[in-house]
Chains A and B, each alone.
Chain A
Amino acid sequence: MKSMRTTHSGTNATPKLPRLRAPLVFGGLLVLLLGLLGRSLYLQRIDNDFLQEQGSSRYSREIDVPAHRGRIVDRFGDPLAISTPVKAVWAWPDQVVATPDQLRALAAALEMTPAALNQKLAQGGDFVYVKKPVAPEVADRAAALKIKGVHDENEYWRYYPGGEVMSHIVGFTGDHDVGQEGLELAQQSWLGGKHGSRRVIINRRGEIVEDVKSIRAPQEGRDLALSIDSRLQYLAFREIKAAVDANKAHAGAAVMLDVKTGEVLALVNWPSYNPNNRIRVTRDKMRNRALIDTFEPGSTLKPFTIAAALDAGKVRPGSIIDTAPGTLTIGRATIHDAHREGALTVEQVIQKSSNVGAAKIALSLPAETMWQTLSATGFGATPMTGFPGEVSGRLRPAKSWRPIEQATMAFGHGISVNLVQLARAYTVFATDGELKPVSLLKVDGAIAGRPVISADTARAVRRMLEMVVLPGGTAPKAQVAGYRVAGKTGTAHKLEGRVYVDKYVSSFVGFAPASNPRLVIAVMIDEPAGGQYYGGAVAAPVFSSIMGAALRLLGVPPDAPIDNVVLPPDGADVREET
């Protein structure tokens, strides 16, 4: 090579003018060739992104792989929330170019009046939803009109077949299929699907002929099975709604637990709302009162005081407590019974719901012991259902209790609970002293509880609770034909500010069949104003009708003769206050 160059330069050196032309042309061509080579090298190796992209866009596409949100189903798999693909038709009003005829056709395709359509488009601005959601076929018809400035996009619409019966538990999703309330919010990461995308090769007809690579694998949302039994939920909802109406009450709620597994079989509130149509729904109606509101439980707390005393060996079921003269003065405060009794056994203190009796029993206990029992049965701690906003209620530390507070706490004042907590606490008496964990999600098989009180104490209190619904007790109206029922009424004055007012929370918590409890039901009616306000008159009948129907539906064999219901004549009920 070198030698050749030297020869060339040697020949070039010869001063012959016409012979200079050839090397010149050759040199020029060489420069051009080098230029081309350089350019091609540059395009191939260095600045190749642009051309690569242009080339691949001719035959490959990145497409979205949609993933839907998981369904929410009840314990039998019946759907409570389903996502279905729909379209949203939207427009840039500034850019819409259409003849009046076209607009009329569009309005007809979208099943809306031309006036409504014009109004939407007249709003101006740069973006407006013309209609959403619309069925995919409808959107396709609208798209077929090919009106400039009108577009559609894919969306999912969440539908709730359970409507107002299920709305407080299930909740709902907001924009872009993201949970906003209830379990839709709490279980967002489980339910939510993640859209994926992949790169594919398409042919000239636009068909996909080959997968190049998956850029992001789509992640389908998973189904969520709740512990709720739709039939029982409806039943409880119907009864609570009727009771709130009949008693002209402010609100009402009911909770039903499975004693063996701790599952929440029903959880209802009234007032409620329809999650499929949330226009003009107030925050007040959206409150899941059974979990996010607390109230002073009143007498429904007495069995726990008695259980603490029995467990500590301070009293026996037959011990005599003197409640005469129906009042008890501690310091400057006086506790009243709704009606005077004389000497009562511990059993009768529960049966007749004597405040004085319960206070005297509580005062025989060290504050620490009573606190221990209440705390161990789940008071003062959230029930851990995972529901957003569930509250713990208030149970102050025993060190800060004054004697009057310990006495009032014996019958459920100065302590606050939510309804689920209260229902759960009663599993202690429905089992042989075990507190079951509660779950809003389906649980397989029986769940072991945490032992809280001795089996003997639990049985003794269960017997007392059975006496409550018998004649002479506060709640004969809680009886269920064919079954032995146990439970306790509550009638608590409400606190407004720091003062007790003449408004009440009537409640009843109980379980059945008493020989082998299957269900715990807690009923709470807030501010009944229909003349009656005693728990035994307002909440107990609701308990009875829900419990009776539920046991029948579940096929639980009756454990009592069918004619066991003995209702005393009207007005002969034993009354209680707290």
Chain B
Amino acid sequence: MITRINLLLLAALVVCALSLVTSRHQARKFFVDLEREQALSRAYEVEFGQLQIEQSTWAMPARIEKIGREQLHMQLPGTGRIQVLDRDRR
């Protein structure tokens, strides 16, 4: 009787030990994945910063004004060419 219980406990012990090994292995694998994703996210953050710089360089008011004036021939309307409409009075 006692031998049987011991055998049973031994089997349980082996199963536990093996599951510990696998879960440990799993944990490490997940951790490596996590590290990789974090590195990727840092890289994206860096790229985002660079893209922001690029965007703000393209969108510099001086540049937009120059293009508006020179390429699109835009200009501010003179005082005589502005009509103000009063929303409350029809």
Contacts and interface: CB of A to CB of B under 8 A. Distances in A.
Interface string B48-59: 011011001101
B49 A84 contact: yes
Contacts of B80: 563
A84 to B, nearest CB: 5
B28 A562 contact: no
A234 B52 contact: no
Given A161-B60, A209-B31, A563-B79, A82 B84 contact: no
Contact of B83 (A211, A230, A562): A562
A82 B31 contact: no
Contact of A209 (B32, B52, B84): B32
Contacts of A78: 56, 59
Interface string B8-24: 00000000000000000
B61 A558 contact: no
A389 interface: no
B2 interface: no
Contacts of B59: 78
B72 interface: no
Interface string A473-490: 000000001100000000
B90 to A, nearest CB: 16
A209 B31 CA distance: 6
Nearest to A232: B61
A214 to B, nearest CB: 14
Given A210-B28, A563-B79, A565-B79, A79 B35 contact: no
Say what secondary structure dominates the interface of chain B: helix
Contacts of B5: none
Contacts of A482: 82, 84
A82 B51 CA distance: 11
Contact of B56 (A85, A161, A209, A211): A161
Interface string B37-73: 0000000001001101100110111100100000000
B84 to A, nearest CB: 5
Interface residues of A, number: 30
B37 to A, nearest CB: 12
B32 to A, nearest CB: 5
A84 B43 CA distance: 11
A82 B62 contact: no
B81 to A, nearest CB: 10
A479 to B, nearest CB: 10
Interface string A53-92: 0000000000000000001000000110011110000000
Contacts of B46: 84-85
A562 B57 contact: no
Given A84-B49, A558-B84, A562-B84, A234 B79 contact: no
B49 A82 contact: yes
A482 B83 CA distance: 10
Nearest to A231: B61
A79 B32 contact: no
A148 B40 CA distance: 31
Contacts of A561: 84
Given A210-B31, A562-B84, A161 B79 contact: no
A234 B62 CA distance: 8
A84 B53 contact: yes
A203 B84 CA distance: 73
A563 B35 CA distance: 67
Contacts of B84: 482, 558, 561-562
B38 to A, nearest CB: 10
A444 interface: no
Nearest to B25: A209
Given A207-B35, A481-B82, A84 B61 contact: no
Contacts of A84: 46, 49-50, 53
A562 B77 CA distance: 12
A346 to B, nearest CB: 32
10 contacts: A79-B52, A82-B53, A83-B49, A85-B46, A163-B60, A209-B28, A210-B28, A211-B31, A482-B84, A563-B80
Given A78-B56, A211-B31, 11 more contacts: A79-B53, A82-B52, A83-B49, A84-B46, A159-B53, A161-B56, A208-B31, A209-B28, A238-B62, A561-B84, A563-B79
Interface of B: 27-28, 31-32, 35, 46, 49-50, 52-53, 56-57, 59-62, 65, 79-80, 82-84
